[in-house]
């Protein structure tokens, strides 16, 4: 009966109830309870780091707590940046190039060598390869013209991109001209004649 009651408690209530007694502490820290909590929390999330997903196997409570903390991280690693294709579109400020002018979203792949390539499908649509250079830029504390200090991504000599997290825990990079999304907002990406789901890890 007690285990059934525990299964209905929120993570916050579990932390409170665990202080009632040693028995309740054991029940509230049960592996299955926190495994279910991870399942509920992550159900509508597009991105949870692989290491945190792996941690769920051995310590779901720690995985739950770390995933919430990680969701507030407004900076992606090189591995995350280069893991798979990013969806992007031009903003309305770009006029005819913008997404609002019936131009479909496109996909770019950041490579660890500092190169940005279009996916094979995008190269086929445009008819020629398009390559750019990316780099991290760390701004000094007196950079008052941007909303925050720290690392920003720059492609070629275009304006710096700020990085934030979406409600689905995916990444969003943007400047005044473009927006990038990872994992892609689209459910599928077409690559070389096949359709595959975007990597969600």
What is the 3 state secondary structure string of 106-125?
EEEEECCCCEEEECHHHHHH
71: nearest Cα among 83, 79, 82, 63: 63
Q: What is the pLDDT at residue 96?
A: 66
The alpha carbon torsion through 136, 139, 144, 146 (nearest 10 deg) reads 10
C-alpha–C-alpha distance, residues 101 and 117, integer Å: 24
SS3 39: helix
**Fold of the CATH domain 2-70:** Monooxygenase (1.20.1280)
User: 98 with 179: CB under 8 angstroms?
Assistant: no
User: 161 with 153: CB under 8 angstroms?
Assistant: yes
Q: What is the pLDDT at residue 172?
A: 94
The sign one gets for the Cα dihedral 142, 143, 146, 152 is negative
Q: What is the pLDDT at residue 120?
A: 64
Total-model pTM:
0.77
Rounded to the nearest angstrom, the gap between the alpha carbon of residue 118 and the centroid of all alpha carbons in its chain is: 20
Q: What is the pLDDT at residue 71?
A: 95
Reading the chain (201 residues) residue by residue, the pLDDT tens digits are: 556 556 666 777 777 776 667 776 777 788 888 999 999 999 999 999 999 999 999 999 999 999 999 999 988 999 999 999 999 888 877 766 555 455 567 888 999 999 998 776 665 555 556 678 999 998 765 555 554 546 899 999 989 999 999 999 999 999 988 999 999 886 444 433 333 334 444
Q: What is the pLDDT at residue 25?
A: 72
User: 105 with 89: CB under 8 angstroms?
Assistant: yes
Q: What is the pLDDT at residue 192?
A: 38
Give the start-to-end residue ranges of the domains of the chain: 2-70, 78-196
| Helix runs in 9-134, H state only | 11-17, 22-28, 31-42, 50-58, 60-70, 78-83, 120-126
Tell me the chain's radius of gyration from C-alpha atoms: 21
Q: What is the pLDDT at residue 98?
A: 55
């Amino acid at each position: 009966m007690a285990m059934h009651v525990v299964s209905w408690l929120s993570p916050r209530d579990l932390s409170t109830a665990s202080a009632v007694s040693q028995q309740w502490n054991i029940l509230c820290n049960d592996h299955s309870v926190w495994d279910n909590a991870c399942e509920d929390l992550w159900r509508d999330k597009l991105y949870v780091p692989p290491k945190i997903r792996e941690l769920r196997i051995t310590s779901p409570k720690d995985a739950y707590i770390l995933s919430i903390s990680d969701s507030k991280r407004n900076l992606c690693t090189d591995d995350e940046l280069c893991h798979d294709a990013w969806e992007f579109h031009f903003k309305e400020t770009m006029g005819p190039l913008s997404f609002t002018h019936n131009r479909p979203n496109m996909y770019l792949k950041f490579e660890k060598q500092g190169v940005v390539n279009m996916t094979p499908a995008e190269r086929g649509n445009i008819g020629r390869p398009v390559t750019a250079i990316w780099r991290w830029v760390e701004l000094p504390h007196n950079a008052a013209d941007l909303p925050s200090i720290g690392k920003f991504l720059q492609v070629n000599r275009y304006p710096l991109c700020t990085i934030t997290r979406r409600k689905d825990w995916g990444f969003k990079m943007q400047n005044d001209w473009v927006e990038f999304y990872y994992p892609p907002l689209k459910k599928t990406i077409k690559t070389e004649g096949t359709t595959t789901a975007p990597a969600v890890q």
